[in-house]
Structure 1
Amino acid sequence: MNLSLVAVLALTLVSICVAQYKSIPLLLAERTAWKPNDGAPKQPWRSRPPLLRKPIRRPVPSRQPYKQLLENLRQRYPRPKEVLREHYQQQVRDFNLTASAKDVKLRNYFDTLYSGLITIGTPEQQFDVAFDTGSPMTWVPSIHCPPEHFGYKYRTYNNASSSTFQANGKEFEAVYDLGFVAGYRSQDTVTVAGLTIQNQTFGEAIIESDLFSNSRTDGVFGLGFSNEEPTVFDNLVNQGLLPAPVFSFYLNKLDIPGPDSVLTLGGTNPEYYTGDFTFINLTATDRWQFEIDNFRVQLSNGDVLFMGSGSPAIVDSSTSLIFGPMEEVDVLNRKLGAKPLPGHVSLFEFDCSELDSLPDFEFYVNGQKLSISSKDYVLKIFLYGTDLCYSGIMGRRWKESETPVWFLGLNFMRAYYIQFDKGNRRIGFAKPKY
């Protein structure tokens, strides 16, 4: 990846990771002022549109490591914003669907986000979207989005330019922990990995919070479970375009040589993994969740730390780190030898010289073991000529009425080639080829 592009992407990713969860403004003035063209729905906005909510709120990561990462990038690549923006646009134009028929080539945004290309409409309109196992909705920014909500967006969907567009008009609002989007649903052809879905419902976003308006990705491709219209992936299966309701991820790490990241639709790709899969059945009907018997860590002094008995866990491709209950995570990080940073909730620092001696973090599910090493659960940052190492396992607090859940984000997913089997309601884990 071009180093200048890395700097551009990191600016976006830092804004994603440091944003604090806040209540959703209604922005009624903008909604009232919006004037659709003939292809848009005619009904006025209600005072509050129906919410399309995720079943579980995602955790908000600490801002400190990403602030330092941003400062490091600024020192290494001090280029004017306009030059970086122009460079990013050129890179996007050069990025194309060169993978095989069922593979989606993914771009690695500094190990915190992975995205790929889809097209919508006739003629095709191209979008760079993040693939999210934690939500079902696929959406892209609409041309009707007021300019003040465009942010860094370079591409928007124009339904008037598509001969296969069909009006739907049903409002949607997708709410995430770090932001929201609102707009209306439309139908059109959607193409991913060379496979074209007819009459697919998706979201045209006309209002986006700062999180999304400043993102270098255009939108989101939902790979979660839907209780409403069939998702894009559902219709790939329903329309006979895939041999099986399965998709798989191989996610590379920027500092480790290896092939580009790939999402495989309809099965698995043996080029990216070795050995057999370890399968774990899902324990929820609306998300990629299973139950962990316990976590185990063999400490350097010979003690064994057990924790998390009977905890649900969700594999979430739009969460960059691992999140668990605050008290358990704090105990774990301290036992591993990490020191808490004063003034920062659940942020722990390791001595970088001791990383090789850190133990694996083991997960036991139905008697089967999964594990990740310190190279996966430690976030290493180079700053002012020195390395800084932070724990990539962070804590969050839960309300008394909520069941504590572990979120297994990208630093967990990179440790495995992961198969999401919707038909058999299970997740498979295999050793990746790095």
Structure 2
Amino acid sequence: MKLPPAVAILVFTLIFVCDAYIINVPVSQARKPVWQVPKLAKRLRPSRHHLQPLRKANRQPVQSLFQPNRRTKQGFQLKATGTDVKLTNHYDTVYYAPITIGTPEQEFNVAFDTGSSITWVPSVHSPPDHVDERLYSRYDAQLSRTHSTNYKHFHVSYESGRAAGYRSQDSVTIAGLTIKNQSFGESQMEPDLFRGTGNDGVLGMGLSNINEGEELSVFENMVSQGLVDSPLFSIYLNRYGSGGPDSVLTLGGTDTYYCEEEFIYADLTVPGSWLFELDRVQLSNGDGIFSESGSQAIVDSSTPFIVGPMEEVDVLNTELGGMLVPSYSRQYKFDCSEVDSMPGVEFIVNGEKLSLSSKDYVVKIDDVCYSGILGMKWMETDTPVWFLGLSFMRAYYTQFDLGNQRMGFAKAYTFPNEVSL
């Protein structure tokens, strides 16, 4: 994957953040911004709250609160007509959509975060030095007649800062669906990670742990309020500038137009999370196994690339021929002339291979090829966790199946007019 030079650097400085009623949300492209060139990789880390369910897990089997819709054809959900809403693909680093909150409606651009159940937007009460009103839309509770306050505080930590404030409840509308009394955060400070992206806040598409007293997420409330017939959503992400179709979030079903094979499924393992178990991580040439059985993985749309345990990632990148860049971020680079012949990286799930080619895990910046697989030391839990971010989601059409308590993966279809980047 090759990105425009100035924007490619940004990637390493963002987050390290049938009968079914179906709604499609296609993703459009963004205009090119102007960026300064900072150091690599400091902020490319998943936020700490993504590990919260794993720290609390009692490892008991996950039970569904919702009955699955089993009306399928040849293993796939059948597609019905839906409502399309254009979203923005910001240079493969952030995918976001417009939503409205309140009555009358106040509009925000929010990033879809499958790693968290928390939705938040900036508050009109944010101090000017914490939220720049010239860059972000801000929610004003006094303008909405459907608003109510629940007097609970919230905070979400990122490497580049945090979002913090208090919770409110109001109507939230996306793609024509209005969720009533949805809990969300009014943030009084905004992390730097969204600066310049045109994005205001976050729409949490993760799961809540009701056993821990957490409030239902946006999608869980869509299901509980009967706004979608099937308790699942699916995501197809295109590659920026590839010439392929718009990216699509499908609420309430799966559209097999975007995938070229049947699904590989993995059962969820931890309450309140889309976590599932990995058998192992290996190279396609059989030269090494880098993560043994018992590791967990989560498909996380707030993480641009692949993030795994530091020691395992070091060995993997070395085996791929990577050279360590002298920096605190432990970034690896490759000889660009050898990238096309490098082996794939395989994530084994239920005995099946989910394989990423070098075009998926290598990022070219000017004439330097960097590894898009980064390591992080896990301080919060002893269980190894792999974050499969946007680079993985562009390679695999991904199904988040709340009703059957499982994840589904199918190789994303390569369209005839797509350009290999």
Q: TM-score range by the shorter chain?
A: 0.7 to 0.9
Number of positions where the alignment pairs a residue of Structure 1 with one of Structure 2? 355
In the TM superposition, what is the alpha-carbon distance from 1:402 to its structure 2 partner? 2.5
- Give the AA of the match of 1:176: Y
- Identity across aligned pairs (percent)? 53
1:184 corresponds to: 166
Q: Secondary structure at the match of 2:264?
A: strand
Q: Retained in 2: the 8 A contact 1:246–1:265?
A: yes
SS in 1 for 2:88: strand
Cα separation, 1, equivalents of 2:206 and 2:381: 24
Residue among 323, 344, 351 paired with 2:335: 351
Query: Are the structure 2 counterparts of residues 156 and 401 from structure 1 closer, same or farther at C-alpha, using a change threshold of 3 Å?
Result: closer
8 Å contact kept, 2:115–2:302:
yes
Is 1:230 the counterpart of 2:216? The answer is yes
- Does residue 381 (structure 1) correspond to residue 365 (structure 2)? The answer is yes
Which residue number corresponds to residue 119 of structure 2? 138
Matched, 1:404 2:388: no
3-state DSSP class of the match of 1:412? helix
Contact 2:277 2:296 survives alignment (8 Å): yes
Q: 1:2 to 1:202 in 2, by over 3 A?
A: closer
> 1:32 maps to which residue?
none
Question: Which residue of structure 1 lines up, in the alignment, with residue 398 of structure 2?
Answer: 418
Partner of 1:287: 273
Helix, strand or coil at the partner of 1:406: strand
Instruction: Flag the 1:195–1:17 CA change in 2: closer, same or farther, 3 A.
Output: farther
Aligned pair partner of 1:371 in 355, 371, 374: 355
Residue 45 (structure 2) pairs with residue 55 (structure 1): no
Alignment of 1:33-72 (within 5 A): 53-56=49-52
What is the CA-CA distance between 1:418 and the residue it aligns to?
Answer: 0.3
Structure-2 residue corresponding to 1:394: 374
Tell me, in whole angstroms, the C-alpha distance in 2 between the residues paired with 1:368 and 1:186.
43
1:175 Cα deviation after fit: 2.6
Alpha-carbon distance between aligned partners in 1 of 2:292 and 2:373, rounded to the nearest angstrom: 17
Match of 2:101 among 113, 117, 120: 120
- Verify the 8 A CA contact 1:16 1:178 in the aligned structure 2: no
Deviations 1:212-243 (A, max 9, x none): 56653100000112131111111111111101
Evaluate the alpha carbon distance shift between residue 398 and residue 232 of structure 1 in structure 2; reply closer, same or farther with a 3 A threshold. Answer: closer
Letter in 2 for 1:143: V
Separation in 2, partners of 1:214, 1:156:
16
After TM superposition, list the pairs within 5 Å mapping 1:251-270 onto structure 2: 251-270=237-256
CA gap of 1:355–1:212, structure 2 versus 1, over 3 A, is closer
Question: Does the 8 A contact of 2:30 with 2:89 survive in 1?
Answer: no
Query: CA 1:400 to 1:127, structure 2 compared with 1: closer, same or farther past 3 Å?
Result: closer
Pairing partner for 2:290 from 290, 299, 307: 307
Distance change (3 Å), C-alpha of 1:14 and 1:231: farther
Measure, in 2, the Cα distance between the counterparts of 1:146 and 1:290: 40
Contact kept in structure 2, 1:247 and 1:268, CA below 8 Å? yes
Amino acid at match of 1:7: P
d(CA) in 2 for partners of 1:259 and 1:233? 25
Q: Which runs of 5+ in 2 are unaligned?
A: 1-26, 55-80, 415-421
Q: State which drifts further: 271-280 or 256-265.
A: 271-280
Higher relative contact order (CA 8 A, sep 6+): 2
8 Å CA contact retained: 1:251, 1:262 = yes
Name the structure with the higher helix share: 1
Contact residue 140 and residue 156 of structure 1 kept, 8 A:
yes
- Determine if contact 1:313/1:408 at 8 Å carries over to the other structure: yes
Let me know the Cα RMSD of the aligned residues.
2.9
Query: What is residue 409 of structure 2 aligned with on the other side?
Result: 429
TM-score, structure 1 as length reference: 0.75
Q: C-alpha offsets along residues 285-344 of structure 1, whole Å, 9 cap, x if unaligned?
A: 122111111122144xxx621220112111111011111122221121121112111234
1:104 Cα offset (Å): 4.7
Which of the numbers 180, 187, 212 marks the counterpart of 1:198?
180
1:154 paired with 2:161, answer no
What is residue 65 of structure 2 aligned with on the other side? none
Aligned: 1:239 with 2:239? no
Deviations 1:18-71 (A, max 9, x none): 4488x9xxxxxxxxxxxxxxxxxxxxxxxxxxxx9443599xxxxxxxxxxxxx
**TM-score computed with the length of structure 2 as normaliser:** 0.77
The separation in 1 between residues aligned to 2:412 and 2:176, in whole angstroms, is 25
The more displaced of 176-185 and 288-297 is 176-185
Distance of 2:39 and 2:204 partners within structure 1:
21
Alignment partner, residue 78 of structure 2? none
Tell me how far apart the structure 2 counterparts of residues 413 and 171 of structure 1 sit (CA, whole Å): 32
CA gap of 1:2–1:107, structure 2 versus 1, over 3 A, is closer
One-letter amino acid matched to 2:300: D
CA contact (8 A) 1:339 1:350 kept: yes
Matched residue of 1:180: which SS?
strand
Question: Structure 1 residues 133, 401: closer, same or farther in 2, change over 3 A?
Answer: closer
Decide which structure has the larger Cα Rg and report it: 1
Say whether 1:271 aligns with 2:257. yes
What secondary structure does 2:339 align onto?
helix
Shift of 1:16: 11
